[in-house]
């Protein structure tokens, strides 16, 4: 933007301003601002004074610059699940960020483990595992004959990076389909007409005040833990289960089923040659 000479493109009268004088130069300046916008850069005071010096505030580049300042500040903090800027490129740190975002139970404990701690593991890699105390209680409450499933790999996006994660899930015997458990105004939490009291044979005070496990009871299964590994291979998942058994002794008795079918890498970047071939394009003649 500094390339433009000063005192040359400023409009002299109302007609010059309104009739888009110096269209090529103004268009070029706007294109520079468009590129900035595409990369998420907001114009700063220096840029603003530069544009006003070059084109005056009755020009298209200034209008665009002012709009960028307005809208970018409006949406800068609009994301309720923000990610750091710039995003770390390391897979482990991305996994930590992803799991932190995904786990909506505030008590979730995210631990970084290593498969090297498990003897007999082939893959020596990191494992990031997320489990909350409520989920641990749910595991210990499962019957001995239950099977738990390791589902995955599912994809989660963190801006432009793509990560695979796996979930440990058990079948939910009483799925509830009509519940809006995230609705904080839900009457069933505010209902004081029948509070269970331990003196009348209902639960203890400690049990009732325990963190809500309800959030993990989804209708397609009970989510018991989520994890991401360095290699996303079956062996690393096996090591994850072994590592989980330290905090969930029940897992040693339950049968674990792995529902994966193939191998996948955790960070998937689409390279040009990996993309599937495009379908043939019907070129229409341009007017």
Partner 1 sequence: METLLSQILSGHRMCCRRGNAGWYQPFRSGAKKYEDIREAKWEAIPEWEKLTGGYHALKDEVKMWAEEVRDRYGLESLYDHYDDGEVVKLWDFNQRHNGVITSYHNRDNRGVETNDMKKWIIACDSDYNEGYTRCDWTVSPSGRALFSGYLDTKLPLDGSIARAGYAFVGCEKKRRSFYRQDYFDWNSFTHLLVRCRGDGRNWFIILNVSDEDSDVSWFDRYQYVLYTHGGPYWQWCKIPFSRFYLQHKGYAQEVQSELPKGNVSQIGFLLADQYSGPFNLEIDYVGAIRDDKWTEETAYEKYYHKENPFKSPGTT
For residue 207, CA distances in Å to 166, 175, 186, 195, 275 come to 30, 22, 21, 13, 52
Residue 164 beta carbon to partner 1: minimum distance, rounded to whole angstroms: 11
- Between the CA atoms of 156, 87, 128 and 233, what dihedral angle is there, to the nearest 10 degrees? 60
Contact by Cβ (8 Å): 167, 218: no
CB-nearer residue toward partner 1: 42 or 114: 42
CB-nearer residue toward partner 1: 45 or 275: 275
Binding to partner 1 (CB under 8 A) within 33-92 occurs at 34, 37-40, 56-58, 60, 62-64, 66-68, 71-72, 74-75, 78-83, 85
CB-nearer residue toward partner 1: 92 or 158: 158
Residue 56 beta carbon to partner 1: minimum distance, rounded to whole angstroms: 4
Residue 37 beta carbon to partner 1: minimum distance, rounded to whole angstroms: 5
Q: Which stretch binds partner 1 (CB under 8 A): 101-109, 198-206, 240-248, 253-261?
A: 101-109
For helices 60-75 and 23-38, give the axis angle rounded to 10 degrees: 10
Binding to partner 1 (CB under 8 A) within 211-240 occurs at 215, 218-220, 223, 226
CB-nearer residue toward partner 1: 4 or 62: 62
- Rounded CA-CA distance 228/231 in Å is 9
Residue 67 beta carbon to partner 1: minimum distance, rounded to whole angstroms: 5
C-alpha distance across the termini of the chain, in Å: 34
Residue 23 beta carbon to partner 1: minimum distance, rounded to whole angstroms: 8
CB-nearer residue toward partner 1: 74 or 205: 74
- Between the CA atoms of 264, 268, 272 and 276, what dihedral angle is there, to the nearest 10 degrees? 50
CB-nearer residue toward partner 1: 119 or 269: 269
Contact by Cβ (8 Å): 61, 55: yes
Residue span 151-180 as binding mask against partner 1, x where in contact by CB under 8 A, dash where not: ---xxxxxxx-x--x-x-x-------x--x
Strand partners, 158: 161
Q: Which stretch binds partner 1 (CB under 8 A): 102-110, 120-128, 140-148, 205-213?
A: 102-110
Q: Verify binding: residue 279, partner 1, rule CB under 8 A.
A: yes
Neighbouring CB atoms inside 10 A of 29's CB total 25
Residue 106 beta carbon to partner 1: minimum distance, rounded to whole angstroms: 13
- Rounded CA-CA distance 61/51 in Å is 7
Total residues in contact with partner 1, by rule CB under 8 A = 74
Q: Which stretch binds partner 1 (CB under 8 A): 32-40, 113-121, 204-212, 234-242?
A: 32-40
Residue 138 beta carbon to partner 1: minimum distance, rounded to whole angstroms: 14
Binding to partner 1 (CB under 8 A) within 239-268 occurs at 268
**Residue from 93, 76, 216 nearest 158 by CA:** 93
Q: What is the chain's alpha carbon radius of gyration, rounded to the nearest angstrom?
A: 28
- Rounded CA-CA distance 42/91 in Å is 29
Contact by Cβ (8 Å): 268, 94: no
């Amino acid at each position: 933007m500094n390339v433009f000479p000063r005192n040359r493109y400023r409009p002299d009268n109302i007609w010059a301003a309104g009739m888009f004088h110096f269209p090529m130069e103004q268009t070029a300046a706007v294109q520079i601002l468009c590129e900035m916008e595409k990369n998420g850069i907001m114009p700063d005071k220096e840029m603003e004074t530069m544009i006003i010096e070059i084109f005056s505030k009755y020009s298209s580049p200034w209008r665009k610059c002012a709009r960028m300042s307005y809208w970018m500040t409006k949406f800068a903090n609009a994301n309720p699940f923000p990610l750091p800027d710039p995003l770390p490129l390391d897979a482990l740190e991305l996994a930590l960020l992803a799991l932190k975002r995904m786990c909506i139970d505030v008590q979730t404990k995210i631990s970084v483990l290593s498969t090297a701690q498990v003897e007999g593991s082939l893959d020596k890699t990191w494992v990031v595992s997320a489990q909350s105390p409520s989920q641990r209680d749910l595991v210990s409450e499962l019957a001995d004959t239950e099977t738990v499933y390791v589902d995955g790999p599912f994809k989660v996006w963190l801006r432009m990076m793509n990560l695979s994660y796996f979930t440990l899930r058990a079948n939910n015997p009483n799925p509830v389909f009509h519940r809006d458990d995230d609705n904080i105004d839900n009457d069933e939490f505010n209902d004081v007409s029948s509070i269970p009291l331990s003196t009348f044979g209902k639960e203890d005070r400690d049990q009732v005040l325990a963190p809500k496990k309800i959030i993990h009871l989804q209708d397609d299964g009970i989510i018991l833990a989520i994890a991401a590994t360095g290699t996303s291979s079956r062996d690393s998942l096996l090591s994850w289960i072994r590592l989980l058994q330290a905090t969930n002794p029940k897992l040693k008795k339950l049968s674990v089923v792995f529902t994966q079918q193939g191998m996948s890498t955790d960070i998937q970047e689409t390279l040009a040659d990996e993309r599937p071939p495009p379908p043939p394009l019907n070129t229409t003649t341009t007017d």
